[in-house]
Amino acid sequence: MSVFSLRRAAPVFIASLLTAITLSACKPGAADATQSTPTTSSLVPGEQAVAVFAGGCFWCTESDFDKMPGVLSTTSGYTGGNVENPTYEQVSAGTTGHIEAVLVSYDPTITSYAKLVEAFWPTIDPLTANAQFCDQGEQYRSAIFYSTPEEKAVAEASRDALQASGRFDQPIVTEILPGAVFYPAEEYHQDYYMKNPLRYAYYRNGCGRDDRLEQLWGKKG
């Protein structure tokens, strides 16, 4: 079985259809799919905030963000498309307009949207459009989502500073997009790197993700 087909060979669980949630719906009790994207203003100590990032394979993006101080939880899912309750098969086939993404719930007293954005860059290839590593197609493109004008300004300033730094000769193509309805992926995708560490390691290594990241960003630590 090739690395390219490994992720698509995971078993399909046809339980109940997942309910669409907005970016704010990861908070306990939030279930109104008609809400707009969340705001992180007027936060009180202990309140959660959320942000969404797309970095190709959501197994990998989950794993990367889970290591960050202040991150409370991560949820793999799909956003930005035109089909309600999309399945993994539909999204991975590129037929729904969705992007594989991860919703990050975090404690704003420990970290911030700006810090999440800065931590995100070294986990992706920002120079390749409509793909990340071995996963090809618009559904795997990299993107940073914002929910307020302030978050948009933060993301754009971070991108512009990275471009101006001279690290890359090529333009940064990672998109900065307004938040949209976020659909959680099927349960077997959640925390996949913990549930299936050997298959995850085989996929990540075979996909060349870390080799490309080292080429772009240098060795970790």
Q: Which residues are catalytic?
A: 57
H-helix or E-strand containing 151? helix 149-164
Give 78-125 as a DSSP string.
EES-SSSS--HHHHHTT-S--EEEEEEEE-TTT--HHHHHHHHGGGS-
Structure tokens at 123: 């986990």
CA 93 vs. chain centroid, Å, equals 18
Q: Please count the residues of the chain.
A: 221
Amino acid at 166: G
Structure tokens at 3: 């690395």
- Side-chain-side CA neighbours of 144 within 13 Å: the count stands at 28
